[in-house]
């Protein structure tokens, strides 16, 4: 029985929610290993829509254990709101089916305030964050001043840790000419949320290890996408954590041997939210059409996504960096009826042709896509559940993508409904 990691191969928003939900029916444990509540998953189950941000997708399935790992920054108030929302939709969320790492860092209101202040002050040079405080929370983690979930269970030392945190944050706020954080008020807020969040916390690395030894199938669920990874993405227009497959082990306390199969979620075209380079972006009617058809608006923010042609260079790079075994191709049905399609097969920079996205931010903004033009298909692929139902030209497009990215299609999604999925290879079978 294989343990599977699911990662995005582009700039996020590839449709991970539906694929993870589809896979979670086959899994026993679903683990969220990085990011925060800036990432959103939309699940459609029997016509009911569930919007998740922090909770692993397995929480909507009866009998599955969901785990939030230490690689996640946890806003406890946002998490409790999400739990309440799930309960209002008839989904049980309790310490019986949800565990949170006691060494996961907390995301506080002061992180959100700092995030918003920085983005506003940056003006046209802003990163384009969700302003949820993710970056500042990870900064505090790395600087060793974060308050972690387990700290809430030690009220005798919590004030000392708050003082250490505020020594840094209040200095920043003074520099911005903003009011300082009230120490006693923050301690009171943490003391109030503690009894609500602590019943879920524990040593999740041990829970996962026990599950592995028992032969349970584990699904490791990432957020964002490879090109938003803090090391391998389009820096500095990236998230503040590692979003690649290797983080799956680190983000929940397992060794590399815990990973058997890496599934890369890949959209049949390309989108991104916020600032940063985007070689195949279509700032024209075609781009707007793709965005409207694909309903390309952020689950968390509602912001419209930038849209463009499929970038095989970008995805092939993600395949190599993640060690991807196969991809789940999503939203190919959005391209139905388009007379011609373009696929980026290389980049050109000043007369030089390259087959990867360089790390240099200057070179990233200078690349020009080299396109291969393909004939589109007139027939609908929406809802197809077998290869035989797909138009020949759609199959040709998919096969060409496989060749260019050097990875096979393991799953093909043809609508938001989980049943509208063509299984080529079951990742859990490895």
Q: Are strands 340-349 and 352-354 parallel, antiparallel or unpaired?
A: antiparallel
**Rounded Cα distance, 164 and 183, in Å:** 11
Active site residue 425: no
Residue spans of the chain under pLDDT 50: none
pLDDT (0 to 100) of residue 18: 83
Identified catalytic residue from 21, 37, 41, 151: 41
pLDDT (0 to 100) of residue 41: 74
**Rounded Cα distance, 39 and 30, in Å:** 16
pLDDT (0 to 100) of residue 304: 87
Prediction pTM value? 0.93
Q: Hey, what are 229's tokens?
A: 């990874």
pLDDT (0 to 100) of residue 419: 85
Cα-based distances in Å from 313 to 232, 328, 333, 406, 410: 14, 17, 22, 10, 19
Using the 8-state DSSP alphabet, how is residue 281 labeled?
B
pLDDT (0 to 100) of residue 50: 85
pLDDT (0 to 100) of residue 1: 64
pLDDT (0 to 100) of residue 299: 60
Identified catalytic residue from 13, 140, 151, 229: 13
Cα-based distances in Å from 81 to 87, 90, 97, 194: 10, 14, 17, 14
Instruction: Evaluate the omega torsion of the peptide bond into residue 236 and state whether it is cis, within 30 degrees of 0.
Output: yes
Contact indicator for 293, 381 with CB cutoff of 8 Å: no
Active site residue 169: no
pLDDT (0 to 100) of residue 176: 84
Q: What is the pLDDT of residues 381-421, one digit of tens each?
A: 999 999 999 999 999 999 999 999 999 999 999 998 878 99
pLDDT (0 to 100) of residue 300: 61
**Rounded Cα distance, 71 and 18, in Å:** 22
pLDDT (0 to 100) of residue 291: 93
Q: Hey, what are 398's tokens?
A: 């998919």
């Amino acid at each position: 029985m294989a343990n599977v990691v699911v990662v995005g191969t582009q700039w996020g928003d590839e449709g991970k929610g539906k694929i993870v939900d589809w896979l979670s029916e086959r899994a026993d444990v679903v683990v969220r290993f990085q990011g925060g509540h800036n990432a959103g998953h939309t699940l459609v189950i029997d016509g009911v829509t569930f919007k998740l941000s922090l909770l692993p997708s397995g929480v909507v399935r009866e009998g599955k254990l969901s785990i939030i790992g230490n690689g996640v920054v946890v806003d406890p108030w946002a998490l409790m709101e999400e739990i309440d929302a799930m309960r209002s939709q008839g989904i049980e969320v309790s310490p019986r089916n949800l565990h949170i790492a006691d060494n996961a860092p907390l995301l506080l209101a002061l992180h959100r305030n700092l995030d918003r202040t920085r983005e506003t002050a940056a003006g046209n040079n802003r990163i384009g964050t969700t302003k949820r405080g993710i970056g500042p929370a990870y900064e505090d983690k790395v600087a060793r001043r974060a308050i972690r979930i387990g700290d809430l269970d030690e009220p005798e030392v919590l004030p000392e840790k708050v003082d250490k945190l505020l020594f840094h944050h209040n200095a920043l706020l003074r520099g911005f000419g903003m009011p300082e954080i009230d120490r006693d008020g923050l301690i009171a807020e943490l003391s109030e949320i503690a009894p609500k969040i602590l019943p879920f916390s524990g040593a999740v690395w041990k829970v996962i290890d026990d599950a592995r030894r028992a032969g349970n199938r584990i699904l490791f669920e990432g957020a964002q996408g490879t090109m938003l990874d803090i090391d391998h993405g389009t820096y500095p227009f990236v998230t503040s954590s590692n979003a690649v497959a290797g983080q799956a082990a680190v983000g929940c306390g397992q060794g590399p041997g815990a990973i058997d199969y890496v599934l890369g979620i890949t959209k049949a075209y390309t989108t991104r939210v916020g600032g940063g380079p985007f070689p195949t972006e279509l700032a024209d009617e075609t781009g707007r059409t793709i965005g409207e058809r694909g309903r390309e608006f952020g689950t968390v923010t509602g912001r419209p996504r930038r849209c463009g042609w499929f970038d095989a260079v970008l995805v092939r790079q993600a395949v190599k960096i993640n060690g991807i075994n196969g991809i789940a191709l999503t939203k190919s049905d959005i391209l139905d009826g388009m007379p011609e399609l373009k696929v980026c097969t290389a980049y050109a920079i000043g007369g030089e042709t390259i087959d990867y996205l360089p790390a240099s931010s200057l070179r990233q903004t200078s690349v020009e896509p080299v396109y291969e033009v393909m004939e589109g298909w007139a027939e609908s692929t929406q809802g197809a559940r077998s290869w035989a139902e797909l138009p020949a030209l759609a199959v040709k497009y998919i096969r060409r993508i496989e060749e260019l990215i050097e990875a096979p299609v393991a799953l093909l999604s043809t609508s938001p409904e989980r049943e509208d999925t063509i299984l080529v290879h079951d990742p859990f079978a490895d």
